[in-house]
Amino acid sequence: MRRRPWTLALPAAALSLALSAPYPFLTAAPAHAAAPSLSPSSAGAGAHAFPPPAPPPASVTGHSAGFDPLHPSSDPLELRDAHRPLSVTYVHGGRVRTLRDYLARTGTQGFVVLDGRDVVHEHYFAANRDSLFQSWSMAKSFTSAAVGIAIGEGHIDSADDPVTRYVPELAGTAYDGVSLLDLLRMSSGIDWEETSDVPFVHVAASLGHPLTDLAKRQKRGWEPGTRFEYTSMNTFVLAWAVAKATGVPYHRYVQRKIWEPAGMASKAYLGNDSNGNSMGYCCYYATARDFARFGLLYLNGGKSRGRQVVPASWVARSTRPSAPFNRGYGLQWWLGEDGRFSASGLGGQLIWVSPRHGVVIVKSTLYTFAGGEETEAAFQAVAAEVARARTARAG
């Protein structure tokens, strides 16, 4: 089964709880300000009815239970401001549509288009360049990168290893004998229904229940490696394996091996379960530009300014089909045609990469279910126009 993360089947009450803890948005507003709560009725509001980004709770202002900081790189990767008109139209549903209309209808609050290191288009609504957006399941692609780096450094011997080699605490559980590869390609055999199970786990973790205990309680439902079932718990277990294999907490490994060398420019936060376990399946709070820097890292084959951050072989392996039973999923990356791939999260969060056009697009929003297949049509049109303009300038 191919399922995008957290689809429309989410019950409104569960969505409300999941969106209110941890907080969907963080900005540089005063730490004493209260974060808004979201109700089921607000979840069904129109495309323009989004509240402004919420200020962080007091606990987010430093290292504390609930959030771990990711500090800006000591050598930030400069993204050059090269804004230019981006007049894009495309056909969807038999109608000619415009990029401006798409951004409005989908409640897009952060939108960045990169042509290499050039920011050719940038749009914010009820947010700004410094706003920190919730990644939701885009985080899974960061966790995949961390696994690839750990393999490259020899902390993990192979993706074919059983997860219990690195997390012996899972011996005798439903994860016993499951390979890291089957976790990566969402084929763990765990009996899981994403739209009902992940809200419970997410809220329980936010309330202080250890994700490690929740992972141990999962049940085996089918033979690992035989089908695709999108399971956020798999990605938590991968993050746990990274921490155990490297001897470094997951967020610190991400800081040293991704955030610093990839040149992330702003302070960010990563949610935890208040017991020191990072929510590697969700909950990076970062700027749209830093999400774009991560997309650019993968566009460049894992390199940043000539330095290999993620092994090139891992980037290639992660962004091609990982199993015959699902040609649309790699290793924690969603796949499109012509080599396109994306990190995708609840409510329309996207890091969309087109190697063919040399373009990265980031879309961040509070939450919206508008867009769907139209997003792909809109982004393809944007990428094609950016590439066309680049060729015209070169000529």
Q: What pLDDT is recorded for position 370? A: 60
pTM of the model: 0.87
> Which carries the bigger pLDDT value, residue 48 or residue 252?
252
| Residue 84 contacts residue 119 (beta carbons within 8 Å) | no
pLDDT at 16 over 80: no
pLDDT at res. 369: 58
CA pair distance 147, 182, nearest whole angstrom: 13
CA atoms lying within 13 Å on the CB side of residue 20: 16
Average pLDDT over residues 114-129: 96
Range with the poorest average pLDDT among 201-205, 333-337, 376-380: 201-205
- pLDDT, tens digit (0-9, with 9 covering 90-100), for 78-93: 999 999 889 899 999 9
Give CA–CA dist 208/315, Å, rounded. 34
CATH 3.40.710.10 is held by the domain 67-374 = yes
Contacts of 272 (CB under 8 A, 6+ apart): 65, 66, 67, 68, 251, 278, 279
Mind listing the pLDDT tens digit for each residue in 100-119?
Answer: 999 998 999 999 999 999 99
Q: Which of 110-119, 166-175, 194-203, 297-306 has the lowest mean pLDDT?
A: 194-203
Instruction: Tell me how far apart the 2 most distant CA atoms of the chain are, in Å.
Output: 64
Range 134-158 average pLDDT: 98
The alpha carbon torsion through 154, 159, 161, 167 (nearest 10 deg) reads 80
Residue 389 structure tokens: 């303009």
Give the pLDDT of residue 368. 59
Provide the 10 A C-beta neighbour count for residue 202. Answer: 27
Cβ partners under 8 Å of residue 327, min gap 6: 321, 335
Please say if the pLDDT value at position 57 is more than 90. Answer: no
| pLDDT at residue 139, as a whole number | 98
Is a pLDDT exceeding 90 seen at residue 280? yes
Strand partners, 329: 334
